[in-house]
Amino acid sequence: MKEAKVYSVMADEARDGHTEQLAVCVCFVSCKGHVKECFLGLQKLERFDAQCITDTIEELLQYHTLSDLLCVAQSYDEASVMSGPVGGVQARFRQRHPEAVYVHCYAHELNLVLCHTCKAIPAASDFFGLLENVYTFFNTSLVNHTKFKELQKDLGLFASELVQLSNKRWACQVNSIKALLNNISAVLATLEATNTPIAKGILSKLSKPKTVYMLIMFSQLLGITEGLHRYLQGERLAMGKAVESKMSVVDTLSKLRTEAAAEEIFEKAMDICGSYNIQIPQGARHKQKRLEGFVLESRCGATPDLTSSAEFRYEIFFPCLDRMLQELADRFSGAGQKIMEGIQACNPSSPTLLSEDALKPIAAHYHVTIKPEELVAKNFMKRKMEKEDICNITTAFHLLDEDMFPTLKVIFRIALTIPVSSCSCERSFSALRRLHMWLRRTMGQERLNDLAILSIEKEYLDNVDPENVIDRFAKLKPRRYNLMLPQ
| pLDDT score of 167 | 67
Query: pLDDT tens across 77-87, in order?
Result: 878 888 888 88
Pick the closest to residue 288 from 310, 307, 304 (CA basis): 304
Q: Report the candidate in 284, 321, 315, 134 with the shortest Cα–Cα distance to residue 210.
A: 315
Of 64, 72, 43, 37, the C-alpha closest to 55 is 43
User: What is the layout of strands, in order, in the sheet containing 6-16?
Assistant: 35-45, 19-29, 6-16, 70-76, 101-104
pLDDT at 32: 81
Looking at residue 485, its pLDDT comes to 63
Mapping DSSP to helix (H, G, I), strand (E, B) and coil, where does residue 209 land?
Answer: helix
Cβ neighbours, 10 Å, residue 205:
16
**Residue burial 293-325, b: 16+ Cβ < 10 Å; e: rest:** eeeeeeeeeeeeebeebeebbebbbebbbebbb
What integer pLDDT is reported at residue 170 of this predicted model? 58
In order of their start, the domains of the chain are: 1-105+422-468 (3.30.420.10), 110-280+305-330 (no CATH), 336-417 (no CATH)
Residue 259 CB neighbour total at 10 angstroms: 12
Q: What is the pLDDT of residue 382?
A: 77
Farthest CA pair distance, the chain: 100
Q: Nearest to residue 36, comparing CAs of 69, 3, 77, 68?
A: 3
Do 238 and 420 contact (CB within 8 A), yes or no?
Answer: yes
Helix (H) or strand (E) holding 377: helix 377-387
Q: pLDDT per residue over 41-78, tens digit each? A: 899 888 888 999 999 999 999 999 887 889 999 988 87
Q: Name the residue among 271, 265, 267, 276 with its Cα closest to residue 155.
A: 276
CA angle (13 as vertex; 11, 16 as ends), nearest 5: 145
pTM: 0.77
What region, left, alpha or beta, does residue 332 occupy, with left being phi > 0 and alpha being psi -120 to 50 degrees?
left
Is 193 within 8 Å of 147 (Cβ atoms)?
yes
Q: Is the backbone of residue 33 left (phi > 0), alpha (psi -120 to 50) or beta?
A: left
Spans of the chain below 70 pLDDT: 167-171, 235-236, 281-305, 307, 332-336, 478-487
pLDDT of res. 133: 93
Instruction: Report CA 426 to chain centroid distance, whole Å.
Output: 10
Parallel, antiparallel, or unpaired for β 70-76 and 6-16? parallel
